[in-house]
Structure 1
Amino acid sequence: MDLNQLTELDLEQIGEWPGLAKAMLILLLCGGIAGAWYAFDTKGQLQRLRTAEQEEMSLRHEFESKQQQAANLGAYRRQLAEMEESFSTMLRWLPNRAGVAALLADISQTGLAAGLEFESFQPADETRQDFCAELPIHIHVTGRFHELGRFISGLAALPRIVTIHDIDIGARQGEHDASGTGVLLNLKATVKTYRYLDEETAE
């Protein structure tokens, strides 16, 4: 069957076509139906299948993550309890408004107990931070080297948080202690303590 015979075929006389032409027509019709079926039905199903597979993978990862969290829930709760206890302990190191005056007295008493002489003791305005207020105290004391060391060690041993900043130490020219054996030193520094802001004050 050649091309001339194909051009002479009449669609109204399909029954009289040669077997090969009928087979080719059937194949074309089947291919067209299959293509239309794929375009209008199968393609959408495949797309939905891929979407469902992606959702399945996402849900699987989410499930595994939540399963791991659930398995570690006890450890998380213990860790949270430990953090809350540590935070409560730290808050106890910060005085409230009523405890500030007593802390200032403790700082002064620590210096006197170390044998220092206070030239000045000047609390400054507090500076508010997130959950606490910083209370700077400018001090100027006089004493021997070991007395200054005992004073700083005493500050570190206080039950409240006390830090010392901007330290300036110098010898007092021509002055000695009462025994005449030690050089007197001047210590100028800023001692800082911190006051806990309770909820009412913070608001």
Structure 2
Amino acid sequence: MTPLSEVDWDLESAGTWPLPVKIAVMVIIAAVVAGLWIYFDTQDQLAQLDKVRQEEKNLKDTFASKQKKAIHLEEYKQQLAEMEKTFGDMLRQLPNKAEVPDLLVDVSQTGLAAGLEFELFQPQAENKKDFYAELPIRVRVTGDYDQLGAFVSGLASLPRIVTVHDVALAPVKDNARMVMNAVIKTYRYLDEEEIGGRSSSKRGGKRGRR
């Protein structure tokens, strides 16, 4: 066996290298080739695998979400039905245009029944919203504390929606009575023609601003 110190390590003389050296070099070359193959080929596969795993997780999350909704579907339907009923009940508390005069009478009669004296009862212009209109009424009434409280309580007890805003109280000089200024708002729902007219005017307004 040729001593290693006498071996010509030039690559052109590789055929004369000792067998153990040849085997070691071949193993190293094979390992390098395998490493390069793994790096350039397997890395792409690993990236693809991560992508597939993420898609699988997303699909599982989507499935779990839809399954949860499916489990509670009847509950959601019941809640929707309750909301529709509540909305219908509230809508029925809004008078139509023909019922507004009677509602105004109810408001004034509530104050008179409480023992108040009206100094001002002045309906204002309607303020139309999407499907209903506000009807503000400026009032100035005089009465004692209990009468004023009975008036506000009576308004809340009316079968129609009535709200009280901008309340200002002031005592009457040399008297136990008080003056209350307030804005009482009643509401009515818009009929289909009014809603249609508002929609058309909004569309026309948008076209005009272009």
The alignment's TM-score, normalised by the length of structure 1, stands at 0.80
Match of residue 84 from structure 1: 84
What do the CA deviations read for 1:11-45 (whole angstroms, capped 9, x no partner)?
5x63x431122102311331232023213321111
Match of residue 121 from structure 2: 121
Match of residue 7 from structure 1: 9
Contact 2:115 2:147 in 1 (8 A): yes
Q: Taking structure 1 as reference, are residues 10 and 98 closer, same or farther at Cα in structure 2, changes over 3 Å only? A: same
State the structure with bigger RCO (CA 8 A, min sep 6), 1 or 2: 1
What do the CA deviations read for 1:23-71 (whole angstroms, capped 9, x no partner)?
0231133123202321332111111111111111121112111111111
Match of residue 110 from structure 2: 110
Task: Give distance in 2, aligned partners of 1:58 and 1:166.
Answer: 54
Match of residue 193 from structure 1: 186
**Does 2:51 match 1:25?**
no
Deviation at 1:125, TM superposition (A): 1.7
Match of residue 98 from structure 1: 98
Match of residue 157 from structure 1: 157
More strand by share: 1
SS of structure 2 residue aligned to 1:7: coil
Task: Give distance in 2, aligned partners of 1:42 and 1:3.
Answer: 41
> After the TM superposition, which residues 143-182 of structure 1 pair with which residues of structure 2 at under 5 Å, given as runs?
143-173=143-173
What do the CA deviations read for 1:65-90 (whole angstroms, capped 9, x no partner)?
11111111111111111111111111
Task: Give distance in 1, aligned partners of 2:5 and 2:82.
Answer: 90
The alignment's TM-score, normalised by the length of structure 2, stands at 0.78
Moved more, 24-33 or 67-76: 24-33
Task: Give distance in 2, aligned partners of 1:3 and 1:168.
Answer: 113
Contact 1:9 1:17 in 2 (8 A): no
Task: Give distance in 2, aligned partners of 1:171 and 1:40.
Answer: 91
Task: Give distance in 1, aligned partners of 2:49 and 2:8.
Answer: 43
Task: Give distance in 1, aligned partners of 2:67 and 2:5.
Answer: 70
Runs of 4+ in 1 over 6 A off after TM superposition: none
Q: Taking structure 1 as reference, are residues 23 and 198 closer, same or farther at Cα in structure 2, changes over 3 Å only? A: farther
Aligned pair count?
194
Identity %: 48
